[in-house]
Structure 1
Amino acid sequence: MEEERARLITSEDTSYGGVVTFNASADQGSVHVQVPEKEERHLANGRTPQNPGRHRRKFTLMSLATMNFAACMCYAIPAPFFPGEAQSRGVSDTAVGLVFGAYAFFCMVTGPLFGKYINVIGAKFMLVAGMFVAGTCSVLFGMLDYMEGDVFLAFCFLIRGLEAVGVSACYTASFAIMAKEFPDNVATVLGTLEIFTGAGMMIGPPVGGALYSLGGYKVPFLVVGGFMLVCAVFMPLILPKQSDRDSVSEETASLVALLKVPSTYVSSLAIMTCAAVYAFLEPTLQPYLNLKFDMTEAQVGLIFLLSVGLYTLSAPLWGWLTDKGVFPRLLMVLGLLFTAASYLLIGPSPLLESIFVEGNDLWMVLVGLGLSGVSLGAALVPTFPELLKSAREAGLEDDSLATYGLVSGVYNCMYSLGEFIGPTLGGFLDDQYRFPVASTATAGFGGVVVIGMSFFYFYENRRKKSQSSCNDARSSH
């Protein structure tokens, strides 16, 4: 009788990838279910073998991919024609760089704020509202065709800044939703989403250049801004309902706690550097190629396509390797090292004149852009998972929308800081010293960061080994 009243039922369920154990006690009138640790989180979210959330994840991924593509299209279309158009209206290269940099500046300022209050605003509402703001501002940017001189420049700053606020809301919400929905495959999903980010960056410049050639200044902004607004209209229907509230205290979602972890600064520096070296090209490459090789806006758009295309193709691989634990920090360091080296070719650098007699050959620019696209993915993709590790070290609550929002805000803030520094400093250096020297300075900046990261990781590994040896010695006594 006792054996019948207390029985152990063990079931092998392949949907959980392990053994599920049920302990039933008739005396206590209770049932205890033991599942593999990895699946506890999914059961807590209400997912079962009959309802595994597969469709939900598909629609979430589809929604985030659409947002990434549309936002990057809006961001990238001015690159082939805006610098030349602004110069024809009396705007200097430095001011053009500031216009590109202003976009990043407003993203940088608002990213942490959106991350802090994502629990209050709601992730889905933040994403959709940000898309509406960004699309509307892109349309308004096309209306600047009727302005000249200082008025043109002032409204460039105003509208581009407001567009940046909308995009900042989009990306902060997107990264938080991604980390919440795919906690065990963050880098792989990030690499997959970078396909659509890269697609928007690839298609944006040639489409912008082609539409500019067909219809003038305002047509690219009207078309792409309108596309963004259409996506915003349908987004609430596609994106599944998000869990916008977490019972997380201020202490467990504290930016101060995250900033106490040293690795946070190293990952943030890597993010900023990746963004800066790429964004350096936005205000500088088009005038240089036009002057040196007499290229049209459409041809410059195709040149931009090379770097972004290779980044897009390689990003999923770097994400998969990161999730597999294949030395993500080594990927970051080597990625930045080769990215810095690529900018010596893009210039091409005066340092290479003794090696290549014809230092202004187009092939060097193309090889440099291709190398930068591949290596930039290796440097950038592992940074978000590294920030999540830092958050866990800081004691922030795991699998919490508040934590993911905070990390997303830091990521977007540092990326935007790099996007601000790159065009602003790049435009100034291009004005003062011309493109080859400016590109060499960018390579030098990347090299210095690589040295700093290498020293930190070497020191941290030695410290951890020393602590582990001390703990082993204490335990043996």
Structure 2
Amino acid sequence: MTKKRFNRNLSLIFCLASQFFNCVAISVPSPFLPRETELHGLSSLTTGIMLGIVDFENCLFSFMWNKIAVRIGMRNVLKIGNLITSLSTALFASVHFIPHAQSTTFVMAGLAIRFLLGIGSSACWTSSLTIAGSLFLEESVWVLSILAALGGVGMVSGPAIGSALFTVGGFWLVFVVCGGVMCVSCITMFIWLPNSDKGNDAISKKDQSQDVPYGKILCNPRTLIGLIVGMFSASCWTCIDPILEPQLRTEYGLTEDKTALVFLLLSGTFFVSSPIVGRFVGKPYCMDSIFVVIIGLGIAVGSFLLAGPCPLFKIEKLELWMLLVCLSILGLTNSLIYVPAQDLTFNISNLELPENVDRTLVRGFLSSCWVTFYSFGFGIGMVFSGSVAQYTGWAWTMTSYAGGCVLFIVIVSIVKVREILLLGVCKPKYETLNSS
């Protein structure tokens, strides 16, 4: 193995580790933060704000880190993001020692630390996507799908790891241990993360012969539809989070540990199927990514309608095994939506940019756009499903998402028909992201 290839693989490992630990840091407080807020005399709204502020910040700060990367380089952004994330995770243990009577202090401290975590999280997301996509141009879709899968593992592992540590030593031990492990990983990254092949991946404005045409990038139909579909994919992924546990508990009598296994099943299907889909999407022998999105949305329509089941079907209740099958299919279909949406977004060869536009800056901008759209969909999915379920119940909530899938099938189909009419061929003649 050559030194260049070794450095490239080592950089990918650090990107994967960053994605995993970042998602663990975001999700680890979710099982026991509600209890801590109740002890301080606060409502569940406080818990929701503390947990959701990170996704909101990803929408705000990803573009800021992309601008900073112009000066210091994406690899330094990755290091700084991991440093902030690890320190803020360990620091969150301090809120446990705030007296229960000082509820205002608890809220201010908790929000401040989670706010700091959100700043680091946005840096990790943006830099890891940009670096991984730039290192493996011929396998970008597959590499990004692995990043997504590992992020999903981190989101699932966070509550599980936190619950185990909470049983051993309580609230403070969870964040001290997780933050400590992340600090060790961060120190390792500072020491061994290879420099870019150019020695420094920071790019100053004066070195650019032409500015990045941000408006042209965002107005490209395939890029825009990729971002919007990615946002809807995130919404579909999180829509069941606030409503699945009450449904399984009231309708099927499942305990919390069994409900956790159901969530693990849903995440597991996405974790397994996402890299497989990434191996095929964007390849010359694979159909256009827009068609893959349409297929994924079509399967999702049936899964959502059956998972309800739709009240129009006059079916009172599904058997538990049928519901589990529907949820597993939803995990599979999410990979059929998420992965091709990334291919549509990060396919810079389709943008027809001038040769003197720096591709690293373009990928950094697209990464910021992706993080912003995906984080917004991540948050809006929980808010929308929770609001609809409060007034209509589980069945109509699932039916509403089936309707959303139908709407997106129409939108994506219109984009494809437009391409056919403009180009006069059934398949657009563009160089795919994964072509050599």
Structure 2 length normalisation: TM-score? 0.84
Distance 1:439 1:100 in 2: 24
**Structure-2 change in CA distance of 1:184 and 1:276 (3 Å):** same
Q: Equivalent of 2:262, from 286, 297, 303?
A: 303
Distance 2:247 2:32 in 1: 13
Instruction: Give the aligned partner of residue 124 of structure 1.
Output: 75
Q: How does 1:455-466 map to 2 (within 5 A)?
A: 455-465=414-424
**Structure-2 change in CA distance of 1:145 and 1:121 (3 Å):** same
Q: CA RMSD in A?
A: 3.1
Report whether the alignment pairs 1:106 with 2:57: yes
Q: CA deviation at 1:406?
A: 1.0
Q: Equivalent of 1:172, from 126, 135, 140?
A: 126
**Structure-2 change in CA distance of 1:396 and 1:164 (3 Å):** farther
The question of whether the paired residues in 1 share the 8 Å contact of 2:243 and 2:386 is answered with yes
Q: Secondary structure at the match of 2:201?
A: coil
Instruction: Give the aligned partner of residue 330 of structure 1.
Output: 291
Residue type at the aligned position of 2:154: G
Residue-pair matches, total? 416
Q: CA deviation at 1:110?
A: 0.9
Q: How does 1:3-402 map to 2 (within 5 A)?
A: 51=2, 53-82=4-33, 86=37, 96-146=47-97, 152-242=106-196, 243-246=200-203, 249=208, 251-325=210-284, 326-327=286-287, 328-346=289-307, 348-351=308-311, 354-355=314-315, 357-359=316-318, 361-389=319-347, 392-393=350-351, 395=353, 400-402=359-361
Distance 1:467 1:105 in 2: 39
Q: Secondary structure at the match of 2:365?
A: helix
Distance 1:290 1:142 in 2: 31
Q: CA deviation at 1:329?
A: 1.7
Residue type at the aligned position of 1:389: N
Identity of aligned residues (%): 26
Q: CA deviation at 1:333?
A: 2.2
**Structure-2 change in CA distance of 1:467 and 1:63 (3 Å):** closer
After superposition, the C-alpha distances for 1:431-470 in whole angstroms (9 at most, x for unaligned) are 44444433433333333223211222222222211799xx
Q: CA deviation at 1:137?
A: 2.1
Q: What are structure 1's unaligned runs of at least 5 residues? A: 1-49, 469-477
The question of whether the paired residues in 2 share the 8 Å contact of 1:206 and 1:302 is answered with no
Distance 1:309 1:262 in 2: 32
The question of whether the paired residues in 1 share the 8 Å contact of 2:225 and 2:344 is answered with no
Residue type at the aligned position of 1:342: S
Q: CA deviation at 1:97?
A: 4.3
The question of whether the paired residues in 1 share the 8 Å contact of 2:58 and 2:122 is answered with yes
Residue type at the aligned position of 1:319: G
The question of whether the paired residues in 1 share the 8 Å contact of 2:21 and 2:182 is answered with yes
Q: CA deviation at 1:207?
A: 2.5
The question of whether the paired residues in 2 share the 8 Å contact of 1:100 and 1:424 is answered with no
Q: Secondary structure at the match of 2:151?
A: helix
The question of whether the paired residues in 1 share the 8 Å contact of 2:304 and 2:326 is answered with yes
Q: Secondary structure at the match of 1:117?
A: helix
Residue type at the aligned position of 2:201: D
Q: Secondary structure at the match of 1:244?
A: coil
Q: CA deviation at 1:121?
A: 2.7
Residue type at the aligned position of 1:171: W
**Structure-2 change in CA distance of 1:443 and 1:224 (3 Å):** farther
Distance 1:200 1:153 in 2: 26
Q: CA deviation at 1:226?
A: 2.5
Higher strand share: 1
